Each structure stands twice: as structure tokens, then as C-alpha cells.
Structure 1
Amino acid sequence: MIFSLRLIATFLIAACAVSAGASTPKHHKLTAKHAHRAKVATPPPAAANAGPLYATRPEVMLIADDIAQRRNLDRDWVRNAVGQSRMVASVVRAITPPAVGTPKNWALYRSRFVEPIRIRAGVKFWQDNRETLERAERETGVPASIIVGIIGVETIYGQQTGTYRVIDALTTLAFDFPGAHPRKAERAAFFLSELEAFLSLTARTQTDPLALRGSYAGAMGLPQFMPSSWAKYAIDFDGDSRVDLFHSAPDVIGSVANYFVAYKWQRDLPTHYPVQLDPARLDRVTLLAPDIVPSFTPQAMADKGVLLDATALAHPGKLALVELQNGADAPLYIAGTDNFYAITRYNWSSYYALAVIELGNAVAAAVGGAPAVPK
């Protein structure tokens, strides 16, 4: 996770025993039919930095009642789930942005993701799921390398899916979002909506909401979908009539591809082009004003001092000048397409998007697959 916290996204059936103290009604328990697929290791005890139960906060319990009413959920079940969750201080620390002025460094960021451990794990994942990746690419137009890049950046192909109780992460960020954050109200509202989506999903899938584990932001499974993304974009790609983003590689692959389809991925369109800049003519302020939103035709970009090769000049849509800072060194610039922008809808960061592309391409090169950006 991608985190830059802007989206993200997973979820469902990976739960087992009901957490201590939880009293989930029978109709909300994980069904025996799926129990053999849902077993996970016994969760560790509550973190040392966990605060008191939210059941001790009357204002939170009133919100729980409101959620139950609006979402048509059993009131006692919602109150138990929310009341048995706790504020976790490490979640607050993790979500707090770095100090203003902290330099960004693309080369350092890239080195965290495009590295031997992830590439080796990606090769195995690709080899194990080659037919499914080919099917997803054929049906959706989303390159296998992009799907593989996402899963690798997010969780190293399932090796690191998160250790926080999802409900603790979501309640902490909904009710105790750090006050110093410049967008506190907006972000707290986002996480409250994710908490609601999480409760609706666990109720519908008869999963114990106190058992699921994920990231500090409440993202779950191999592709780290947020609960709302699970509800909107996760699909059954292995044909077993249910969605499992914790254990089913086909469901993970199909759901990641489906996410990008929903964000208007364009088949056979490159993600970006290399650029050079003409300092004498460069209108940097105008070019960077739209951030990563494609806003300029290739010719308009060229007129403002960006040197594009013949392939980029023939691009059929609009482009964005994307700047990736490199600490004290010169920034890297690329021309991002609508497909580059689509990747940033998974995580609203150009650094994240380019890391996904380059990790996927590195794995593709190792297995003989096609890169997302033709070389």
C-alpha cells in the first residue's frame, strides 16, 4: 500500500475464529461451507499501543447506531463490532504525513520496490498464474505486467498483507484521525465511509469483522483493496461463485484488472513517454499546474518546451508532464498518458505509478512477457 493513501483497495473471506469478547449473531458468522478456505493463523494479542475499547465512547456508539440504521444492519451486531475495536496509536503515527519540506526522492523510492526480492517473487507469481494473467489481459486489455506490478508493490505477492485488525484501523482513522493533518475532516469522513462499507461487507459475507487483518489504513488482501473497492470492483475470476482476495490468485488478478477497466484503461495505449526539456522555451509552471491529469496535446506540450520523440508526438490523446523529484539531484520528467493516470487512481501518486510500471516490466523481462511500455 500503496500508500499515499488515496485509494486503495481489498477484501473478504479470510477470517476464522471469532475474536475474544465478540458476540457475532449466528447469521453473521462465517459459514462452515467456507471455513476450510478461511482459516488463518491465530491473531496476535492486542497491540501494546492500543487504547480503550470504543464501547467506552458514547459519541462513537451513537454513530454505530446511525450506521446500523442507514445500512440496514443489526444494531446490536454493529455496536458489538465497533465497540470491540480500539484506537491504535501506531495507526495514527503511520497516517501522519512527513514534515513540510521533506524532500522526495524517486531513485530511493524506486529502490524499495524494483529490487531482487520482489522481482523473484513476481517471476514465481507470473509462472504460477501465467494462463490467468493471459486471460485477464485478453479480456480486459490491462497488461499482465501492470497487474503483476500492482500486486508486487502492494504485498510482495501476498507476503505482507498487513497485521492490523481492519476494524481497529478503520475506527481509529474515522474517530481519531490526527488533528495536525491538513485534510483531517475530509480524510476522517473517508475512513468513516470505509468503516461502513466494511461492516456491510462482513455482514453480507457472514464474516467476523473482528477477525480480518490488513494494513494500517484498512486495506486488505493481496491487492490491498479498501472495503468500498472490494464492493465495487472485486470479481469472482476463478468461477467458484465467491470472491476471495486473500487466497485466490485468479480473483486477485481479475479484480485488479477490473479496477483498471472501471477507471477507463485503454487497450494497447502506453503508460508514458520519455521526454527532454528545452530550458529556453520551457513553460514549467503551466505544464505542471494540472499535476498528473493529462491536459495537453502532444503539440501543445511541445510548444511549451517539452521535447517529444516521434512516437509521443503521434499520441492520440492528451498528456501530462509528470515531475518526479530526486532529492538534491535533477528531477525525472515523463509524459504520462491516460493509462498512467489510471494507475494513480489505485494510489494517487506518480511515484507509486511509475514503481508499479517498472517492477512489472522487470518481472516481464525475467519471464519473457511483454512490458507495459514497448521498448
Structure 2
Amino acid sequence: MSKRNKDFLLSVMSLVLLLTGCSATATAPDRQQNYADHPEAQSWIESMKAEGFTEAYLRQVLSQAKRQDSIIKAMSRPAEKRLNWEQYSNIFVKPKRVDQGVAFWHENQAALARAAATYGVPEEIIVAIIGVETRYGRITGSYRVLDALATLGFDYPKRGSFFQGQLTEYLRMVQEEQIDFAALKGSYAGAMGYGQFIPSSFRAYAVDFDGDGKRDIWNNRVDAIGSVANYFAEHKWRSSEPVLAPVVFNQPAQDEWFNQSLKPSLTLSQWREKGASAPLKFDENSPATLMKMELNTSEEYWFGLHNFYVITRYNHSRLYAMAVYRLSEQIKAAYQASQAG
């Protein structure tokens, strides 16, 4: 195998391990630490006491949290940055994942139809999100959420404040939902369930979609489906609008036009004035961001429209959003073909 092929294979393996909450070093014994004695923990404890939590409870929680070095290593390896769009799509937009998506749609047809009607989010988008996140619930993460959030909150200074906030949200969540704080498992970043919600997203967007009095995104597919749909609705998905528009260049494009922001800042009309246009069937008032998606030997050019931006609110990555949308297209086509047959 050539060095180039070996490097590519290592990049792909690293990304898959990261996205499934695992690590190549996860089987090695991780250094453990009692977070109740961590020097960074006392200020967090004081802030939580001000919100009504007792110090005894907080110390009990932190005493059971264990540092996981493999989580630090996973967060320090941004494998996605080493992959182009073609390499990334070859991980997620594959026939097996499409087939599994069709099966998931058939198995949960009623819940998906109701979610689409309730929240205005297409079934194929909901299915594709769950497919990319956890392969339809097959890979939801093996780390205790408590360990992940404590490790990143207190021993990953780059994003410590964010993850201390998620640990706070997590304790609110387990008390509200009456769940054992040490029992839940998820990804290396503390994301949980079929749709991989972090604690703040759970509290804001998870729904009891089957009406049994519980918001269960770990074991209840109906709740997971409704919660993903609600997430998109709350982030202003527009049911009647497209996701992407093709690009035609009427003059040489400038490098600074591309991949500048996930959030659109110009309309299609304004892009047309600059020399990059979409077919006239698209609303010229639509906000759009201009994207260059790199392939192994060429590039693709697309306008990301409002709904593309909404997908990136789930994961702030244009590669991720493109994979979700492309997978959704293939799942929808295959599902419709299975219905016709």
C-alpha cells in the first residue's frame, strides 16, 4: 500500500472512530481522577450552589466522574479537516446506510409521517440525521456522559467553559427526567441517543412524542424522531424551500467568495450581480452561501440556501450538512422505489 493510501485510510478510520464516540486508544486503561478534588471544580460547585444544588450532591456527582484520557485525545484530533468532500461522503453516503435508512423508514413509518406533518420537516431529513449520527441507533457511544462532560469541562481548557456548562445542563436534565446521573452513555463529547443530543439540546428540543410522560431519546424511536424534527423546526426549517442550488459562473470567481460562512450573508440576486448565478427557478431573494466542495481531482460548486444552514445548526460543518442532504436524497429515492414495487 502506498504512503498516500495509508495516510488516507488512517484519516478515514480516525474520523469514524471520533464520530462513533470511540477511539483507537479507548481500550487502554485511562488515567482516573476524582473530580471532586479537581482545582477547577470548586468555582463550578459554587456557581451550582447558587442555583439551588447542594454541595454534598455536587461532590457526590464529581466523585463518581472519571477522567478519560481517550476523550482528550479524540477532541485533539480534528480528522474531518484532513478529508475532502469526496472522502467524507464515501464514509456516510453509502448503499448500506441507504438500505438501513429505508428499513428504518418502513419500521417507523407512522412516527415519521406524524413528525413531518407536525413539524414540517421531511421524513428523509429526519432519517438521514439519525443515519449519519448513529447509524439508526446502532452506534450511540460507549462513554459515560458524566465522564465525558467532566473530562472536557475540567481537563480540556480550550472548551472547558462550554463543557462545564453542559455538565450543568446535564445535572438539570437528569433531575428533571429522574434519571441516574451515572447511568447514561453517549459519545466522547457527551452527545446522547439516536439523534446525539448534548444536554442543552435535550432540554431545549427533546419531546415526548408518544405521550407516555417521558422524553426518551435513548430507547424510544418515536421520541427520538419527534425530537430531531422539533430541533429542525425550532431552527426555522422551511418546508417548502430547497436546500441547495447549482452555480453558474458568468465571470472568473474570486477565492474569497467561497466557504466564508455557513450562514448566508448575500441573496441569490446579489450573487448574480457578482457573477455567480443560480437557475431562475430559484427565488432571487433567497439568502445563499457560496460553497466549493473539493473532490479528489476536481471541485463541485453549490449555493447553500436557508435550509442548508439549518442542517449546519445540528453540526457546524458544511461537509456534515452536505452528507446529510445527499444521504436523504438517496434514502427518499430508494424508499419511494420500494413503495412502488
TM range (shorter): 0.7 to 0.9
Q: Structure 1 residues 85-94 or 54-63, which shifts more?
A: 54-63
Q: Show structure 1 runs of 4+ deviating over 6 A.
A: none
Query: Which residue pairs with 2:288 in the alignment?
Result: 319
What's the Cα RMSD here? 2.4
Deviation of 1:315 (Å): 4.2
Deviation of 1:207 (Å): 1.4
Contact preservation (8 Å) 1:64, 1:79: no
Query: Which residue pairs with 1:204 in the alignment?
Result: 176
Q: Distance in 1 between matches of 2:183 and 2:79?
A: 34
Query: Residue 301 of structure 2 is aligned with which of 327, 333, 354?
Result: 333
Q: Distance in 2 between matches of 1:339 and 1:288?
A: 18
- Closer, same or farther in 2 for the Cα pair 1:209/1:289, shift >3 Å? same
| More helix, by proportion | 2
Residue type of the partner of 1:298?
A: L
Q: Structure 1 residues 247-256 or 301-310, which shifts more?
A: 301-310
Residue type of the partner of 1:332?
A: E
Identity %, equivalent residues: 37
Deviation of 1:330 (Å): 2.4
Segments of structure 1 that go 5 or more residues without pairing to the other structure are: 9-45, 370-375
Deviation string, structure 1 residues 137-159 (Cα, Å, up to 9, x no partner): 11211111111110000001100
Query: Which residue pairs with 1:174 in the alignment?
Result: 153
- Closer, same or farther in 2 for the Cα pair 1:334/1:204, shift >3 Å? same
TM-score normalised over the length of structure 1? 0.78
Q: Does 1:227 align with 2:199?
A: yes
Q: Distance in 1 between matches of 2:259 and 2:320?
A: 20
Query: Which residue pairs with 2:162 in the alignment?
Result: 190
Contact preservation (8 Å) 2:269, 2:284: no
Query: Residue 50 of structure 1 is aligned with which of 30, 38, 45?
Result: 30
User: Equivalent residues in 2 for 1:53-72 (5 A)?
Assistant: 53-55=33-35, 57-72=37-52
Query: Which residue pairs with 2:5 in the alignment?
Result: none
Q: Does 1:357 align with 2:328?
A: no
Query: Which residue pairs with 1:262 in the alignment?
Result: 234
Contact preservation (8 Å) 1:61, 1:83: no
Counting matched residue pairs gives 315
Residue type of the partner of 2:278?
A: L
Q: Helix, strand or coil for the counterpart of 1:51?
A: coil
Deviation string, structure 1 residues 215-254 (Cα, Å, up to 9, x no partner): 0000000000000000000011111111000111111111
Q: Helix, strand or coil for the counterpart of 2:67?
A: strand
Query: Which residue pairs with 1:106 in the alignment?
Result: 85
Q: Helix, strand or coil for the counterpart of 1:239?
A: coil
Q: Helix, strand or coil for the counterpart of 2:327?
A: helix
Q: Distance in 2 between matches of 1:344 and 1:241?
A: 30
Query: Which residue pairs with 1:215 in the alignment?
Result: 187
Segments of structure 2 that go 5 or more residues without pairing to the other structure are: 1-13, 20-25
Residue type of the partner of 2:273?
A: D
Query: Which residue pairs with 2:56 in the alignment?
Result: 76
Deviation of 1:47 (Å): 5.8
Deviation of 1:60 (Å): 4.1
Deviation of 1:128 (Å): 1.0
Residue type of the partner of 1:199?
A: L
Q: Distance in 1 between matches of 2:202 and 2:73?
A: 26
